Structure 1
Amino acid sequence: MAPSGPAEFEMSLLKAWAPYFQSQVRSRGRAYQMAGQVRQVAPGEGELMRAEVEGDDPHTVVFKGDGTTASAQCTCSYFSSGSYCMHIWAVVLDAHNHGGVAEFGPAIEKASPAAPKARRRSGEKKTSHREPDWVGKLSLLATAAAARNGASAIDDDPSIEPEADGTHDAAGPWSGLLRLRQRQMCYVISVERSSQHAGVVVETWQRHAIATGWSRPKPWKIDNDALRRLDDPADREIGATLLGAVRLHPAEMDHVPAADRSEGMFSLRAGSRLGLLRQMIATGRCMIDPGQGPGKTLNWEETPWRLWAVGARDGADLVVDLELRRGDERLAVDAPDLVIGGEDGIVIHRQTVAPFDDRRVTRWVTQARDEFHRRGESTSMRVAEEDIERFLDRLYMLAYLPEIDFPDDVGRPIHTTEPVMHLDLVSPRDEAAKQLIGKVWFEYDGLPIVPSEPNRFLTDDRGEGTATLIQRDAARENDAVALLAQQGFRANPNDEQTLQLAARQMPDVVRALTELGWQVSANQHRVRRATTSRFTVTSGIDWFELRGGVRFETSRGEQIVPLPEILAAARSGTQMIRLDDGSEGMLPIEWLHQHRMIAGVAEVESDHLRFRTSQVALLDALLAAQEMVTVDGPFDQVRQRLRQFERIEPIRESERFHGELRHYQRDGMGWFEFLRWFGAGGILADDMGLGKTVQVLAMLHRRYGESSDRPHRPTLIVVPRSVVFNWIDEARRFAPELRICAYAGSDRSAAFDDIDMIVTSYGLLRRDILTLKEKQYDYIVLDEAQSIKNPSSQSAKAARLLRCDHRLALTGTPVENHLGDIWSIFEFLNPGMLGSAGRFGDLIRGSVSDLHSHDAATEAALALRPFILRRTKQQVLTELPEKTEQTIVCQMESEQRDIYDELLKHYRGTLLKKIDSPRVGGAAMMVLEALLRLRQAACHPGLIDKRYETCASAKLDALADQLAELIDEGHKALVFSQFTSFLALVRSRLEDANITYEYLDGQTRDRKERVERFQNDTSCPVFLISLKAGGLGLNLTAAEYVFILDPWWNPAVESQAIDRAHRIGQTRHVFAYRLVCEDTVEQRIIELQESKKKLANAIVGGQGNLLKSLTREELSRLLS
């Protein structure tokens, strides 16, 4: 029946013709076809196909057929000797690979291939010449081995494992009676059935105890019930295994008398066969049945047999026979009772069972043995002297060649060499296809062979004299094929000679294989690896030029690919460059990463790249890994200055500075000096709470107070609106000598008069940029610099318009983990350092922006290292105090401010009118209510009226910013409030931001479980706690940060809340923050705390009697 499609049809053609070609012949034919030396021509009359095969001597191949039999002819001498040649196989392969069988294929497919006949040479007379006997025998061995006839499906089954029958042998009072009549199982190997099935066929027989010993064994069907009645545990185990083997049908047991037939006949599967035979023989009840019933018991011998081809001289002739050898033992190949091939092959001879050590050889010898026996011929071959060379040619082409033992004057020289691994990749004709086709083959001294060819030797007859045999390295070939599987290759379901690979994997696979010495071609173009590289850096007025390229060795000699061509490849994302000889040059992966970075920041000229002076650090980092780099003097001087970063000296704060810096903060002072000296800006990215503000204030105090070159221009500090007055307060605390003002409010015109430091917000920067950009500043410092990470934002654009001598950016976010966000910050700090925004974005888009990943982004991070100073709390823990407390002043937006002011106006007018006496006295409860409502309005207007729940909250916004930063750093925080309604609003904000949290208030019952989750679950960074419910009895040492949203004016209560994190077991520094709104009753109470602590306790603690001491003047101040 014709195949169902072209691919199946062509494959059936290959399988039909392959057995008629020696494996070596097929290898040579494949080389012709792979080299493109086959050219099909129009067939003549009566011909199915005609082709020309080019070479040193071109030959013509013709296919003919009569519809029943098809044959091929060639004009070469090899075909004249009576064998199909390499040229014919090349044509068959070419037709298969290129669909060329469409015209003649059906006729050949219907016909059976005819064995080749010796062709008479021109002028030869037809004679009755008959080939020597050895030719037929050797051809039979070759055909049997190549076609792999007689391979039992049983041999190819996976190994079987003993199967438990799932039942239990329940002991009971009757079990002893069942075993009074002892039974034993016997195992009988049937020689006849084993030969028929090409596997070991075992029959189960049984015998029982009698007065004189044991009864005669009889065939016995076994099942799970029968196994349970056996006395010997070994029999039960063997029986269970047999039940998992292949059971033979009763119809196949015609040699067993009908009365004794049973289903107790099994064919042992390969893989477990030897182990099972050992168990059976160990019982002493394993026997062989040569055809007349069970004979003597069998013994096991571990030493394996091996097959040899043994030659001896008989006069001038050579007589060759097949022989089995084991140590000093010798057996003719047809002497054993049973020889079974395949995996776990065995030989049974004279009641002894032993294994073969080579599956391929056993399969080869069993086929020769069975076929010769059927023909009544011996296995020996007599070779006339004049035929010895031809015999050797044929012999060494055989698959699964046995060991050779020939006289010294007969044979071929054999040598070994390392194979060269080849991989040919071809893109499918369908460009949309995602799979590449790959062909793997090996080259031994210029001779090709594919993995599927079974022969152990290649014949090299290219020189003069006797041909040489090259032994294949099976281990290396197997490793090569296994490597391809590891690289992602899979079998091609449409062609067993090729493999498939996902197209997206090609660059990585080709790079990996070429680095291991493979020769890889892509669409018939050789792929070459780069050898070396060379670069030169020269200096200009304010720029550097980089020249050089990558070196390849091609068939035309050395070729250098210049940098602009490499950048073109890097931008396009390819790893290949077409070389002058037509081959493909593959750039190393590290080169692509580095040059993608260069492509993002450099200006590309015709034959070189140009860099700005500010990019010297980046250029130096990119060239650091290169061995052959030449630089000129000016570039080297700038590079040496940059490397001073590694030797920064700490600088002490001035004596009049109100505070003592820690060692790491003095290092920061030294880093500021390094940046000024180098002429660059930088990012101070210390962990939250490590004093970035204090370091800047200490630097400015030293610069404006003690520096000999005191600047005549002010410093501009740009911060979020909520921390403007924090900066003012901190500056007045630590550096009171500095002349400071806030650029805020309605009258901002006088802010620049005789001032050292101006603090303003990002909002006012955007609004007043036309005014601010006209001024010249000494320093511009951006606090919370992530506010300008979007380069197209109004804040970022405004910041870049400011003019100054020095620039700093402060942020607690670890920017080296977010390289995509820092282009805008560095464009403010050092314009042009990272090239254009578009190119830098393309560089890191799709890559892992992590310093631990070896990619282009890593190169950028390493280059920027001198300009980013980051210290974590873990690094400076030993220098930190046990606990730091700080007040964060929040600035309300207009809507919240209006609501608060309206409420304040109401209570101020109401209360002060009702209190006529100097003391509050009996109006204490009214005062408490007023202060409570004002405090709630300062937290969130929605706490006093649900209509305002959508209103903005300064505290909520400040808390969200703080939590986002510390969570990004991997920290945990506790958030306290006495208002559960405020905590509900915080919960909503956290859920909107997808932040996991725990919650605890007075209604919570499973307090322990919630605490344990927060303590142990790394994915839960926030714990919201009611101040009253969480003030005592909780151990929350997983937290390092504590936020008190509405400070409990009794300091003892606040301390109890903070101590939930700062207690025994805490190994990290704890930071506590109180959030208060500027210009509210909260701020007024803090001001009164120092002078009148009893008042603060009374207000929140409910000690109304103390409120009686509150004066009308003090109440007026609270409500101001």
Structure 2
Amino acid sequence: MEVKELSADAFWKGEICISGKVEDEGHIYHTKVYIKGSQIFDYSCSCSGGNSGRTMCRHGQELYRAYQAEGREREEKAVSTSQSVRMMIREYTNRQVAEIVAESEGEDVEFLPLLLIRREGLFLEASLKRGREYLLRDLAAFAQAVREGRYVEYGRGLAFNHDLNAFTKESRGMAALASQLALTYLDHYGQIRRGQMPAVPALRSLKLGRADADRFFELIEGRNLQCEDMRGHRRILEAVSGDPDFCVTVKKAGKGGIKVSVPPDLLVFEGEKSLYVADTKKLYRCSREYTEAMSVFLSELLKNREEPGSALVGERDIPLFYERVLKGMEAFGILTQEGVDLESARPEPLSVRFAFDCLDDGRIALTPSLSYGDYHFHPMDDGEVPKEICRDVPGEFRVSCLITRYFSAREEGTGRLLLAAGDDALYRLLDEGMEQFGELGEIWFSDRFRGLNIRRAPEISLGVSAADGWLKLTLDTGDMSGTELLKVLDAYRQKKKYYRLKNGEFLKLSDDGFMTIARLQEGLGIGKGELKEKQIVLPSYRALYLDQMVREEGGIAFYRDSLYKAVVRGMKSVADSDFEIPASFQGELREYQKTGYRWLRTLDHWGFGGILADDMGLGKTIQVIALLLSAKEEGMSLIVCPASLVYNWAHELSVFAPSLRVLTAAGSLGERRELLAGMDSCQVIVTSYDLLKRDIEIYREKSFRFEILDEAQCIKNAATKSARAVKEVKARTRFALTGTPVENHLGELWSIFDYLMPGFLFAYGKFRTMYEIPIVKDRDERAAANLRRLIGPFLLRRLKCDVLKELPEKIERVVYSAFEGEQKKLYGANVLRLRKELEAGGELPGKIQILAGLTRLRQICCDPSLCYENYKGESAKLETCLALLSGAVAAGHRVLLFSQFASMFPIIKKRLDRAGIGCFVLTGATSKEERSRLTARFYAGDVPVFLISLKAGGTGLNLTAADVVIHYDPWWNAAAQDQATDRAHRIGQKKQVTVFRLIMKGTVEESILHLQESKSELADRIVTEGSVSLAGLGREELLKLLEP
């Protein structure tokens, strides 16, 4: 005898089934042995004695011995099937069976509701129908079957899988409602147990709440339903929306009384939103108006057990019953009178009189009076009102509420009510209260009280004339003096609703005229002295702001002379101006560039300066060159730019305006002095910010037609020598070119305008109070809008997406890397050290110390060898970068790679050389000549990769040969990064530019990215650029930078 096959399977709570084939004398027997632990509790075998007795056959014994011989490892590894898995198997089996049953059944089941109206409320019973009808005796069991999708048999003719789709389309919603209500009932009592019935009595009917009644009707509307009244009588009703048309009968009853009745067979119940009324044929969902008028009336009448549907009213209560109950039914035309005259039952209406007086001591008194016919009484003394008077209680209550809203005290012995002391209470009474009192009754007032009123604001007019670069404003406020005008404006700024004049009258301050004058005073910086005299003088650059403000705010008459109108009209119609492009301009301007040229000419024509803030790559330079050509005979002009762009400007001038005599003021001190000695014969001089401040003694003595600042953000700090130097130069018109007029804070914008038109944005302290603090700290949208309105005419900004449709859009993507091994440990140790310094009490570490710590963290993100000389580990970001570069070059792309850390480039270049990828390197140490040579060679296609330091590549480069940009590390200044990107994404680019930003996950780099996004909101609200300022970060923000 030999065991040929053996297997063991766990099947239930540690029980194991041993199966096998046993060969005995040439025959194969199929044998099973069941064990739990070491105990055999059952067996089976295909031999003749396999199931014949209590003793296991020899084949089973042999199988068990073989199992034991294999060791107990099989038992230890065996896993019993969990209860949840068995439940799954049973559930899926039931579903498959149910699907088979459903296919064979064909016809859907109809869920039939029965509505029971009882004194205790509204109840729902139901039955199921497919062929014949089956009463549901337990709605709770039905709900659980629906919830679990169980297959249930109700009788020989009805058995189905309880899925909502098994019901007819018309009754599916009602089945769902009944199931939900039943489950809610069971949940309430905590009776639901998975896989077992609730331990509660069978639930034959469900009680419907008011909200349930509304849902029930929505499901049944337009169909018939069966309804059972309190006497057990059933009727079939059609559910409709509308008001029933039965009559309310009123007839005589007894001595002087009346009897009110409705059909006694009406059924009434209330929902949360509507009243439901059923007659013998229909169930009505009544309108809101009908519900308000009839719900209580019908409910109470039908509760009368002695005579359902009727009630008696005694003679004394008839007027009140009519006024409160029957009067509201007249609108529905359902009142029927039999032998009675309800008109004679109408009660005397409530009459109200309010008498106002101003007492000798200035207090305001009210004497109210209520009347019913000839009977008069004080509303606060109603205790002795005859009982036979039918009183309008809601009306009297309304009067009392209004009186107590304004009058809080009563004068003893007179019945007069006194107004609270103070102008606020009196103004509120005159402004709001008198109209409200007039709505409730008749108003009487004494002569002294009549003298108290709210005076209309005077008609305000403003006249303006322009002459010699100035605006003269004349303000007319009628008979209101300048002194009183100042007081009125002070009250307006304090957000008071009124100002009380010397004669006791009130002046309402919500008038638009006062608001406009107050905002003009604030926005234009008008002094109180000028306002008091009503004669104001302003620089002409305020013309557009003044015109826009008055037109938008309104409230005053505005008179303008012809020159002022011409200034405003000219500035508003730049595109239609007659300024022609000079014939000597060697090139072609796009339409938006022509508009920019005309805008520059228009500002110059009226004596204004401005900022040309076009997006990088849109050709700000050539627009200015056209401007310089247009005035080449009117005097020499000065261009100031970064040193790296001096020769670029000279080259562009030679290309587009070869007729201009251009002097490039660069070189050594001696060379510059020699060149500048002949400057009077030149038409354009180009120099750098650094050289201008060195040679300022020479420039200070000259007068220029134009002074043009390129990359004007270089003077964003008004305290620097460069900023002071450019402001010392005398020029008839000044312009500034910059793609980023705001990088870190609004003070930079102020500095540029202080150069263009000194005083335009006021002194910096006032600008900070009026705009910078409210916009940045308080996020004041009105202040931001006011600043945009002020600078709007003098700042022209066009984006690539707005004006250059042929320029492909950039695709920007952030690529994350994660630390591993030694690099992760080094970063964590440095974060811990810097965090301890920041968390220590007392003063924050110095800015330089903090910056050094953050820089070290950023270097570790790039490659730890930047700050650890002997570091030999890997750099996650370097590997990510090399993978990107290899893929891009292999696909034929040209790449610009920017980094803040020039020391990173030898590391990258070494790896690229090893991979056989050629590259150039450009840093701040690269000479101007070498810079030009490398740029030309890259453009020619000598190498596919250009490594450029962020600051060296931020301005003055045209590298449209590249179509992939990689920012190896993020810098605080997002605008600087964008400028670098635009070396490739500018005019002339024919390919789509893809930008990758490499970020180490969970590091200071990711925090910088988030800070850039949040800080850029400030500039977006003004000129749509932005960056992050380390100096503006507090302890909490710095600590947040270190969070993973």
* TM interval, short-chain normalised: 0.3 to 0.5
TM-score normalised by the chain length of structure 1: 0.45
